[in-house]
Structure 1
Amino acid sequence: MLVINLVYVGFQLTKSLAPEPPSLRLPVSQAAAGGERLRLLADSPQPQSVPAASVPGGSLCPVIGPWENREQAEAGAVQLKAIGLPGRVRGLSVQKDRLNWVYLPPYEDRERALRVLRELQDHGVDSFVVKEGEDANAISLGYFSSAESAEGLRLKMQNAGYPAFVRETARDVTEYWVYLSNSKPEDNADLKVFLEGNQSLGIDKVSCY
């Protein structure tokens, strides 16, 4: 019994003299020190993607026409308004009668142009000398609606030794149309009667401006 007590006393003395293990000290967080708390990226609100601004597409307006002059168009606008289709008259510049012109460029004087003209006519080439304008003294060889036909004649003349060229020509004219306020004029029953009485007119849609 004495031996057991001595062993127990020795064990207690050893325990009290053993040094305590050092405690680990974590660095004080910025939040504890009054700073801003660190957050994970997943916790942070992500900037929302801003959709690209949509570009409005060009709108189309219904029009009635064409008239050859403004007076006729204004009279037509009055008739259209009477059947419930008010609108405004506007002039549009358009090109008509597009053709491909085959020609020999202007010569230095009219005498030279006439000599070449006689040569061509002696060979059966239908042609004439342009009398005035920026193409004065040029020789016209013909107008063609087909670009291929014009190019064929140009090559034929070049092979014969004549420097022929092709130019697209057109006639600039002003047409007058009534731009309607009603977006669906087709629903108007009287419009059909109006167009039947004016065979040269029609309904179309053009870019609003």
Structure 2
Amino acid sequence: MRSLFLFLLLLNILYALWQLQGGELVPDRELGVSALPVPDSLVESSMISSHPASLSGADTSPAALCIRLGVFADREEAAQLLQRLLALDVTAEVVADEIVSSSDYWLVMSVMGGASGALAKLSSLQERGIDSFVITEGPLAGNISLGVFSREDYAAARQAQLQSDGYDVRIERVEKLRSQYSVQVAPEARRLVGSELLLKLREDFPAMQHQYQSCAPVANGRNIP
């Protein structure tokens, strides 16, 4: 019985080896396996992802760059440079920029009661010999100033004195602005402003610098007063 079992086992092993060596691969269709259909939506999605540039907006070009020539503290000097460029058929405009030149530190006392309340408080302060005035312009208008200082530590020292006398004052930083001017060359005229022209312009405008940057909107830039 044991011999018969070993014989059958050996026969199965030999049959398996014959299948591996001489058998052929059976096509998928004979095994009953068919390719699954791909949904149209997946096909379209694949086509879209493979062509992202065709769906992106055509107006993604970078912003046009202008040439800025300057800067000048005097608008008249910028106007002279503008006239030189216009005479050469270079499209350009004067651009004015506001920059912070310095800061002052104001001691401010809030006042209730409008203009009449401010005048009454001002009279009371001046009777006590405290230098003060009513602020009439800007975001602090209607309040009373008890001093303007160029340094914050000076303002803080005076604030401490007034607070010790019972006056409620605060420090407000007020920025002082000034204008500076430059000449902006339009993108379509940039090709006309080459290194040779820049050298000639610097003979009359030694401090002139040039840089490329995004064009600034200008209203009535050519109407120089």
TM category, shorter:
0.5 to 0.7
Higher helix share: 2
Tell me, what secondary structure is at the counterpart of 1:103?
strand
In structure 2, which of residues 107, 116, 121 is the aligned counterpart of residue 112 of structure 1? 121
Normalized against structure 2, the TM-score is what?
Answer: 0.51
1:178 shift after superposition? 0.3
Q: Which residue of 2 aligns with 1:48?
A: none
Query: Which whole-Å CA distance do the structure 1 matches of 2:148 and 2:67 have between them?
Result: 40
Q: 1:75 to 1:60 in 2, by over 3 A?
A: closer
1:96-111 equivalence runs, <5 A: 96-108=100-112, 109=117, 110-111=119-120
1:156 counterpart = 2:170 = no
Q: 1:31 to 1:149 in 2, by over 3 A?
A: farther
1:21-100 equivalence runs, <5 A: 21-22=11-12, 23-24=15-16, 32-34=27-29, 61-66=67-72, 68-69=74-75, 73-80=78-85, 86=90, 88-100=92-104
1:154 shift after superposition? 2.6
1:165-180 equivalence runs, <5 A: 165-172=170-177, 174-180=179-185
Q: Which runs of 4+ in 1 moved over 6 A?
A: 28-31
Q: 1:57-85, CA deviations, whole angstroms, 9 ceiling, x for partnerless residues?
A: xx78442233655x764442122456x79
1:188 counterpart = 2:198 = yes
Query: Which whole-Å CA distance do the structure 1 matches of 2:27 and 2:212 have between them?
Result: 71
Q: 1:107 to 1:81 in 2, by over 3 A?
A: same
Which letter maps to 1:21? L
Query: Which whole-Å CA distance do the structure 1 matches of 2:93 and 2:83 have between them?
Result: 10
In angstroms, what is the RMSD of aligned CA positions?
4.3
Query: Which whole-Å CA distance do the structure 2 matches of 1:106 and 1:178 have between them?
Result: 44
Unpaired runs of 5+ residues, structure 2, are 1-6, 35-61, 216-225
Normalized against structure 1, the TM-score is what?
Answer: 0.54
Which letter maps to 2:71? G
1:177 shift after superposition? 1.6
Query: Which whole-Å CA distance do the structure 2 matches of 1:160 and 1:184 have between them?
Result: 66
1:111 shift after superposition? 1.7
Q: Which residue of 1 aligns with 2:4?
A: none
Larger Rg: 1
